[in-house]
Amino acid sequence: NNAGIIIAGSIDQIGVDDLNYVLDVNIRGVTNGVQAAYPLMKEQGFGHIVNTSSMASLIPNGEGFSAYGTSKYAVIGLSLNLRVEAARHGVYVSALCPGVIDTPILKECGGKYGKSKSGLSQEAIDNFLDKIYASRFHPMAPTKFAAKTLKLVGKNKPIIIVPGWPWEMVYFWYRIFPSLD
C-alpha cells in the first residue's frame, strides 16, 4: 500500500495548498488502500497489509521535509493502531520504512508529481544526490529492496526498515539521543 510525493521546502515556503496536497496523497492514498483491502481480508480471516511509510517518519530529515515527514508519521500511526485492531481478525499490518531507495522520488525534486519550493536549483539538488550515491547511505536498487522487504514481511514485523544497515542503527541512536537531531 504505497503512496508518496515530496514537496520540499519549509512549511511557510510550501503554503497551505501544497501541504494539503502532500497530506492528501501520502495519508489519504494509504487510508484509501486500507479501506479497500481491509474489509476483504477481515471477511476471509487472513491477510497482510503493508503500508509504505519512510525513515522520515522515524527520524527528522532536516529542513525542508516537514510536510513529508508529517505525512509519513501518520502512516506509522495508522499502521500500528490498525495492527492491534486487525490482529483479532487474522490480519497482519506492518509499516514499511525505506531508507534511501533508487526510485524517482529521489530525483526531479521529489518525483513526477513532487516539487521543490526550497529555492535550490536542480543542479544543487543533483550535487546533493551525487553525494548520497557516493556515501554509505547510497540508494539501494529496487529489486534488492523488494527481495529484502518480502523476507521481512514474512516475519510479520510491526515496523520494517530496509535497508537495515545503516538505517536501523540511525533509528536506534535517535531513540536513545533524540536531541542529536
Determine which one of 38, 68, 113, 133 is catalytic: 68
What is the SS3 string spanning 34-57? HHHHHHHHHHHCCEEEEEECCHHH
**ω into residue 166 within 30 of 0, thus cis?**
yes
- Rounded to an integer, what distance in angstroms lies between the CA atom of residue 174 and that of residue 133? 23
Helix-, strand-, coil-residue percentages of the chain, each rounded to 5 = 55, 15, 30
Q: Does the annotation mark 68 as catalytic? A: yes
- Rounded to an integer, what distance in angstroms lies between the CA atom of residue 110 and that of residue 133? 16
Cell numbers linked to 35: 479501506
Residues with active-site annotation: 68
